[in-house]
Structure 1
Amino acid sequence: MYPVTHSGWLVKAFFSRTSSTLRKKKIRRVKINADKANESSEQIITRKRKKYEKRRRRFKGDTTNIFKGSYLQVEQEVIQLRDAFKNVFLALTKKEKALVENALHGSNSKEVLVMDESSNIQITRGIIQCLKSEGKLNDDVINLYLELLKEREKREPTKFLKCHFFNTFFYVKLTGRGNYNYNAVKRWTRHQKIGYNLLECDSILVPIYKFYQQHWCLAIINIKEKKFQYFDSLSGRNHDDSVFNILAQYIKDEAEDKCRKDLDVDKWKREYVENLPKQGNIYDCGVFLIKYADFHTRGMPFNFTQADMPYFRERTAKEILRLRAE
């Protein structure tokens, strides 16, 4: 290895590279190191800052913007993602497993296991048993889980996107008997009721049930990125533009009614999200729906597969029984 001096030709060659090339190499190296490390987040940050300071002193030049603008910023993002993924796939304790086992495999199907006062949803053993293997999720489980996601965001607003979660009855009510009807849901989002206007949110999540397919999907009005998104765990094979048309008209009507604003959504992107985790059976669509919602609100890549569904079923049952989404 050649010695590098401040005035040497190697330094000049180093700084002749473009900042984008440097950034790509730093990102790749930081990601590899973060994945392999067994240290805590604080230890990783400390070690990398020391490395940054050592390099800065070594070159003694105006390298602050190059390193500080890419290296340190990327390391923070990688560490945050690493910690988030740990939490997403956190194993259940023995006590939690016993709690879930009793709920899913007990005999008294009419026993009330939990009651959520904010949503007025009552969960009996018979209702929560849809989370057993090969069970199709019902309205109560999906709606309560979405309520818990909203409560989680209120509890830790800096960690999650600001979202509004409609329940499974919203889209049915909005479309009526095949006809768009804003007045049917106009009062659902009064400021006195929810405490904010929908246009203040990053995203609006709308669960959709396709009756003719008996299949759950998720639609998102992405206010922050100005686009409509559709998440279908069956590879998006059945595109239905009417969903986008209805939600576009809804958010325009909502903006006019609640904010006295003429919202132009004609140029908003309409996206059938294709690069998604896909289901490999006919019964996990509801679990995919709630995990799409969960990961979206975290601002995380959808880094899960069909193989994770048994774990997510148990984890969802645990969070519902504890009335707390993590």
Structure 2
Amino acid sequence: MVQIASHPEWCKYEAIRHERAYCSYRNLSSLQFKSRVNNFLILCVCRYLFNEAHPSVSKKHFFFSYIGETILDGTNAEIVGNAFNGANSAFPMWRSNMLYFLICRFSHWFSFVVCLKEKLFVFLDSLYGEFSDFHLAIHDPIVNNFINLWDTYVTPILRKRIDFENFDIVYPAVPQQNNTYDYGVFSVMYMKHWSPRTPIGNLFTQADIDNIRIKLANELYFSHFNTADKSLVTNFFGDVSVQN
């Protein structure tokens, strides 16, 4: 797949499609070693996790990255409202345990998680800590904007207000990176494995990331939920010329 992603034409072909979420071979190649994960790939991860365990089973909602970024920016409330309505149609958000928002800010990925059952606003970050300039600038805006948007789009349906003002803001111990390009992979691993009752401080380390990149690529590509045409790969490795 690396060779396909490097080809000027083939790299544009669709590699993964999980219903409305899709990405090209070029996007998938962002899981190569020392590459920064592409936001289109993150969309596919979110949809893959949705299909692996429906929110009615997992009690989790995984929101596309642009939703979390829109909440942080405090713009385009209608986009967030539509996402909340879509999530509620799959499984009511207020009956969920966790709402996951992967966010990219200044080319850095982190996770914002709303834990409704435990009454927590959680930040999972592989590089920046609670008192870093990065988080001092973002945690109040995203929390306040989330509360306002919830009250606008969810509270009227629920007919009861959740007292988010009494939620705690926490920064749990999570595996940390030692470079400037693995943020996205760490964030995907947090999204897949972290919960308030499942500490992941020792689940994996920086030394595991290269193998995790390979595993994630195979997991997404060869998933039975991936409806993209895989003949380009099968033909490539079967020494059959690709028909344009």
Report TM bin, short chain.
Answer: 0.7 to 0.9
Indicate the residue corresponding to 2:233 in structure 1: none
Instruction: Give yes or no for contact 1:207–1:219 (8 Å, CA) kept in 2.
Output: yes
2:237 is aligned to none
Summarize the alignment of residues 85-164 of structure 1 with structure 2, pairs less than 5 Å apart. 108-116=10-18, 118-121=19-22, 123-154=23-54, 157=57, 161-164=58-61
* TM-score calculated relative to the size of structure 2: 0.78
Matched with 2:122 is 229
Deviations 1:59-107 (A, max 9, x none): xxxxxxxxxxxxxxxxxxxxxxxxxxxxxxxxxxxxxxxxx66666667
3-state SS, counterpart of residue 221 of structure 1: strand
Q: Does 1:165 align with 2:67?
A: no
Aligned to 2:232: none
> For this pair of structures, how many residues does the alignment match?
216
Q: Deviations over 1:125-172 (max 9, x none)?
A: 211111111110111111101111111113993xxx411111011123
Structure 1 residue 253, shift from structure 2 partner: 3.2
Q: Which amino acid aligns with 1:168?
A: S
Contact 2:65 2:104 in 1 (8 A): yes
* TM-score when normalising by structure 1: 0.60
1:243-254 aligned within 5 A: 243-254=142-153
SS at match of 1:233: coil
Counterpart residue number, 2:176: 278
> Equivalent residue for 1:308?
208
Amino acid at match of 2:186: F
Greater mean deviation of Cα atoms: 163-172 or 255-264: 255-264
8 Å contact 1:277–1:305 — kept in the other structure? yes
**Cα distance in 1 for residues equivalent to 2:14 and 2:80:** 30
Of 104-113 and 126-135, deviating more is 104-113
Higher RCO, 1 vs 2 (CA within 8 Å, ≥6 residues apart): 2
CA distance in 2 between partners of 1:145 and 1:321 (Å): 11
Question: What is the alpha-carbon distance in structure 2 between the residues aligned to residue 156 and residue 311 of structure 1?
Answer: 31
Closer, same or farther: CA 242–140 of 1 in aligned 2, 3 Å: same
Q: CA RMSD in A?
A: 2.7
The change in CA–CA distance for 1:320 and 1:192 in structure 2 (over 3 A counts) is: closer
Residues 125, 191 of structure 1: alpha-carbon distance in 2 compared, 3 angstrom cutoff: closer
Task: Quote the residue 2:235 is aligned against.
Answer: none
Pick the structure with greater CA Rg: 1
Gapped regions of structure 2 (runs ≥ 5): 226-244
Q: Distance in 2 between matches of 1:156 and 1:245?
A: 27
Judge conservation of contact 2:65–2:103 (CA < 8 Å) in 1. Answer: yes
Q: CA deviation at 1:251?
A: 3.0
- Distance in 2, matches of 1:319 and 1:151, equals 13
